[in-house]
Amino acid sequence: MSGTEELLVEADRLAAELDSADPPALLDVRWRLAGPPGRDDHAAGHLPGAVFVDLDAALCGPPGAAGRHPLPDPAVLQAALRAAGVRAGHPVVVYDGGDGLGAARAWWTLRWAGHQPVRVLHGGFPAWVAAGLPVSTDVPTPAPGDVTVRPGGLPVLDADAAAALAATGDGTLLDVRAAARYRGEHEPVDPVAGHVPGAVNLPAGEYVGPDGRFPSSGALRERFAAAGVADAAPVGAYCGSGVTAAQAVLALHLAGRPDAALYVGSWSNWVADPSRPVATGG
């Protein structure tokens, strides 16, 4: 099985796996930055057997100084995953509404929590529907899972580590927000505009499509290399609150960089401390 196949699954292959004797656990993590949660979307139609998991309430902690989407409380995360039927060592597939953001953060969170066999449905719910596959409105009742959350499965940056990575020149800290936000010309969400000094801007649209689909691993490697990501040097990513940046980490994994770190608090954590420096311009 290739690295890409371990991270992404296409709709037709997932359909075959769901028809098997021991299908993967299926998590519906449809989510919108401005809300509301995707529970109503789930109720209107979902992949057969999929359990809705609220990204804000279960996969992230409450917003505050740590950021708008900080790390979850391990006990809360474990309870949510067990309620969704996630079993220790058993495959999980996550999907969202098609932009790939919620699914990527769910993928990252499960991996961070020590659960390795998790993949993203490539293209999300729209890809499933486009393939003519069945949609259900039944309320799933999975058997309780037994997964144990063990934080530390993926590398994490805090503000100090992010600043150090951006400042040293020995690695790359990617800011994957839109260029205008990076330059400090426009900030629609957080109270301060700009970027972490030394961070390199690589807007998400340059490595993933609006449908949440990624180009080939080779193309991803070329795009990250063009942004200054060197093969042997550390790399991390941040965005506004750690969701879009989780998708960047997934893209880096696809490009052969499983060591890529996520600044979970991202810009919303950085600007919570007014003593931290802010850079503007290109």
Q: Is 60 a catalytic residue?
A: no
From the candidates 163, 239, 245, 264, give the one annotated as an active-site residue: 239
pLDDT single digits (tens) 136-194: 999 999 999 999 999 999 999 999 999 999 998 889 999 999 999 999 999 999 999 99
pLDDT at 3 over 80: no
Query: pLDDT-based confidence at 4, cuts 50/70/90?
Result: low
pLDDT single digits (tens) 20-58: 999 999 999 999 887 788 999 999 999 999 999 999 999
pLDDT single digits (tens) 237-271: 999 999 999 999 999 999 999 999 999 999 999 99
Q: Where are the domains of the chain?
A: 3-130, 156-270
pLDDT at 195 over 90: yes
Q: What is the pTM of this model?
A: 0.96
**Superfamily of segment(s) 3-130:** Rhodanese-like domain (3.40.250.10)
pLDDT at 123 over 60: yes
Write the DSSP string, the chain.
--HHHHHEE-HHHHHHHHTSSSPPEEEE----TTS--THHHHHH-BSTT-EE--IIIIIS---BTTBSS-PPPHHHHHHHHHHTT--TT--EEEE-SSSSHHHHHHHHHHHHTT---EEEETTHHHHHHHTT---B-----PPP------S-SS-EE-HHHHHHHHHHSSSEEEE-S-HHHHHTS--SSSSS-SB-TT-EE--GGGTS-TTS----HHHHHHHHHHTT--TTS-EEEE-SSSSHHHHHHHHHHHTT-TT-EEESSHHHHHTTSTTS--B---
Q: Among 3.10.20.90, 3.40.190.10, 3.40.250.10, 2.30.110.10, name the CATH number for the domain at 156-270.
A: 3.40.250.10
Are domains 3-130 and 156-270 of this chain identical in fold?
Answer: yes
pLDDT at 2 over 50: no
What is the overall mean pLDDT for the chain?
96
